[in-house]
Amino acid sequence: MESRTDLNMLMDHVLRTAREDDLWLPHDTIVVAVSGGPDSVALLHVLHRISLQYVPLHLVCAHVHHGLRAESDQEEELVRELARELHLPFEGVRIDVPSYMKESGKGMEEAARDKRYAFLHEIAQRYGAASIALAHHADDQAETVLLHLLRGSGPGGLKGMKIKRREKNVELIRPFLRIYKTDLLGICEQNGYAYALDSSNHSNQYRRNAIRLDVLPFLGQYNGQIRQSLIQLADIAGMEDDYMEQAADHTYHDLVQHKGGRLYFKAPSFLALHVALQRRLIKLILNYLSAGIEITDFHKIELIRQGIIQNKSTTWSLDIGGGLACIREYDMIWFMQKPPEQSKSYTYELQTAVPELFIPEIGKTLKMKVQSPHDRYFSEMAGSCAEAVFDAGQLKFPLTLRSRLPGDTMKVMGLNGSKKVKDIFIDAKIPPSVRSRIPVLVDGSGNMIWIPGVRRSMHAAVGLQTTSVLHMCLEDTAVEQL
């Protein structure tokens, strides 16, 4: 838009933007954030005229007194008088930014923004408002994109601010985001709108001011249209980012499954995705688990992605931070709010075969029965379970069912010598999170004779000379957690 734009043209532009981006509906209540500067003063006047002439809207004028400058009192009175002149409700608050800075450890700009938005949301909730209108304009957008670029942002940051974004059940709307500041100043001057000038805008001690006062003018020596170029970049990046978000959402629903409050997918399916979608999918999962707190750390996301695509290790665990963890178990990639808890150690000694033994530490039941070699086994009666048969006459009691210990070994049937239980688990591709719920059975001589559902040892094998068989079955009696 050219700086000669008059008020009617500006209203037409805002109305067109509102239709294209669904900024409001008739009779919506809108909280308008008014600092007293020319941008927000123009916004309140324009929305007020629109509400009288085109779309009935209920406007609330909201002002935050930051208490950081001598002229803050005058600005507050200017905005209060403007609301009175337009017959609009006025809501103001005085905030203590320095105290919040000490409490939160945040810088001046971030602390002031936090308190300002908290107040605006409070007013929106009190009035049942559909949206909060902010006076950010095209120059602000250019500064935001460049600021994000200098911080090392990805595509999500290059899109800058959105014209409409939902936050805490309220829409944040920016009707002026495609209007340049010179046009807004012109509107105020042409129509005699009183406004205040913020003296701190001329200090480059604040990062955004430094971008506006130093960096953009310097870049303007090489590209006279630098602001327009950055705004165009924001538009392109915004549309493409929206498209990628939709693609990531579709991929999420196709690949990711839920179980016990955890999310998981299969590595081969993930590897078939384009790198851009791989990163988006990881980010989407982390944001879901972090209850909507957006995680944008590229290095963290890339660390997870590299762990999935490399083939050097089949199992690993990564503490992501923030109470989140990512675990790989062979072809399964798990995301969870905390690593799986290890089962408590336990030991049960059996002097003789017992019909049933419940092991509460792992939520399983051991069933035992002495039978003839010609009898049918439990599996035909009890359904699927981890089972094994032994020559009862060759077994030495007492038997001990216990949790696995470091260094445990077993003489595996068909293999000369002993093998570490850890290696047996690895060979059988038993996920680490499952291993803690698998007990081991040891005979009276201290020989490990059975790892239920995995392997049995060479001891007490059933043969032609066997006259009685001890049949054992370990089955679940509680819902699996993983």
HSE-CB at 205 with a 13 A cutoff on CA atoms is: 6
- Helix or strand or coil: residue 323? coil
Tell me if 40 is assigned to a ligand binding site.
Answer: yes
Residue 214 among known ligand-binding residues? no
Residue type, 216: L
Q: How far is residue 354's CA from residue 398's CA, in Å, rounded to a whole number?
A: 12
Cα→Cα distances 24→48, 188, 391, 411, Å: 14, 24, 79, 74
Residue 319 annotated as part of some ligand binding site = no
Is 457 annotated as a binding-site member? Answer: no
φ, ψ dihedrals at 216, nearest 5°: -60, -45
CA 212/CA 207 separation, integer angstroms? 9
Distance (Å) of CA 191 to CA 9, 34, 36, 186, 475? 13, 18, 16, 8, 82
439 is in an annotated binding site: no
Q: Which residues contact 252 (CB under 8 A, 6 or more apart)?
A: 281, 284, 285
Residue 176 is encoded by which pair of tokens?
């002026």
23: CB partners within 8 A, 6+ apart: 17, 131, 163, 164, 171, 173, 175
Q: Identify any residues that bridge with 262 across adjacent strands, giving them in sequence order.
A: 259
d(CA 478, CA 482): 12
Distance in angstroms (rounded) separating the CA atoms of residues 310 and 7: 60
Cβ 260 vs Cβ 289: under 8 Å: no
Give the Cα separation of 83 and 35 in Å (integer): 12
State how far the Cα of 271 lies from the Cα of 278, in Å rounded to an integer: 8
Q: Nearest-5° angle of CA 327, CA 475, CA 385?
A: 95
For 103, residues 6+ apart whose C-beta sits below 8 A from its C-beta are none
Is 36 among the annotated ligand-binding positions?
Answer: yes
For the annotated binding site, the residues are: 35-40
Binding-site residue set for ATP:
35-40
